[in-house]
Structure 1
Amino acid sequence: MTTSRFDIHEHITTQIITAIEQGVGDFQLPWRHAGQISRPRNVRTKQAYRGVNILALWAAAYSFGYTSATWGTYRQWAETGAQVRKGEKASYVVFYKELEFAREDAADAETETRLFARATPVFAAEQVDGFKTELAGNDREVEPIAAAESFVMAAGATINHGGDRAYYRPSTDSIQLPERHAFVGSATSTPQEAYYSTLLHELTHWTAPEHRCDRTLGKRFGDDAYAMEELVAELGAAFLCADLGITAAPRLDHAQYIASWLKVLKADKKAIFNAAGAASKAVAFLGGSG
């Protein structure tokens, strides 16, 4: 009997697609209904997960109702004195390992390096006994919106206000936003949060040119390059909102973008990995934790 090989790329992509489809209508990154958001962190290292692992764990948290944002392997939880409960289902993160192989052509070098994805099962704090969840917000020494203002200023982008649209214009290398008073709140975000989450979206677009992060910008709505860049910008904004303590605000053209993202994700199981990696690179360029 042949056992099908576990494909971590397909597994995580399917998990994220499912999370989006479950929440279509009220779905918004990073798959949280309201309130403060934060990056998933490892219980042993205290470091935030990066790239697609952020999305994979946000999606798992959304699906199962976890809110602690603290994750670890079975062994890591045991090292803290906690115990994963029997029967709990693991979520997965992915790490890449470099392995050397003999070159088939043996032209210039005898060996070549290849990247291999390694799937690692992890569990949320809600799945273990004997662990005290730290209260969210205790380590926030700076008022979140003030932190966002300082972060944006440090990036050095040219930001203009006026009109009724938000966009990044490559020809002038500048960001255009409506006046601050034009932003309105919603059931899950204040006007200030809506303003900064929009600005962080456009700031991620600003990192696209070759001399910054070198990404391809799409020409029109609906093409794959456009959808990928919009997904990168939304992920970048979501990562930055999590880092800066800002609740992400839903876009006005929300449903259209969700449809375009799903099209790309369903066509290419590695698209979300590439988009998340590009978003992390953009965040790191801007001075975030990447």
Structure 2
Amino acid sequence: MSQIDKLNNSYNESLYNLIVNTDHNWTKSWATVGFAQQNSKNMEYNGANQIVLFNRAVNSEFKDPRWITFNEAVKNNTPIKKGSKGEFIGFFTNTASVLKKDDDGNPILDKDGKKQYELVKLDRPVLKTYYVFNVQDAENIKPFEAIQTPEVPNSEKYSKIEKMIENYCKDNDIKIKEISSQNAFFSNNRSNDIVMPLKSQFSEIDEYYAVTFHELIHSTAKCVERTNKTTDTKNGNVFGSKNYAKEELVAELGSLLMCQKFGLSGFATNEENNTLKSLAYLKNWLEAGNLEKEDLSVALRDANKAVNKITSYMELEKENKNKVEKHSQVEI
């Protein structure tokens, strides 16, 4: 066995032990409560309505998760912009608002002369449907009151990260869509979109980049040949399957390596919280996929390939700059 193989085996053994022995519980590093698609009263939509509206939010890149009806917009003096498209949703209800009447069948009015209504229970549920519009398509709406956006430090490190991501995404036809979301994911089935929660949902900017790196590593499956080439279907893996678990190992290990390379939280400081979260995440997928130590070793190799692919775009800007400078020189 060569010295390199011995070193790799030692590293894999140490990493595996760290993962399986961690007692840290994984939690999302971004806020989720209050960021689902919701109505004007901040009540979250359920079931199919949530799916329909979230899909539209992704496609239209709506950062604001609030939706209103046309009548609400008129009533609140927040008119819908011309040409805006609404989404058709509905729900079943066993109550209805009916006009209150006196014994003679006349409407009962309040002190201001307005008709009074009351909520009554129906014998059976009825379907109520309507169109809703995202508030970004309405005028005079106050901005969504999200938590304060973490500030991106003005340093060379973060500038390099942003430029690298920009170059990689541009060259591989990938678009990062930052919207109000409870999840982060790479939509490899129908597009090359990476959906990220708002920066304001993260308490630390390093956590935002760590999650972005995770999704970027997933996207490299289309441009970097994996050691593990097997997928459940031609369009990808089924959630919770063994192959799905293997790919999650690749993405999280790649994120760890990227954070280490750029000295982000957990590596640049003595705070280990982000690193512990990653170890807990890796442990979850090792157990969920019933994976072995060799699976971790393969995932680490694939993660390194993916990281090398993405970080190669740090040099792209430098190469382009050198070319411009070279062509701009005039011989005398």
Higher fraction of helix:
2
TM-score by length of 2: 0.42
TM-score by length of 1: 0.48
Structure whose CA Rg is larger: 2
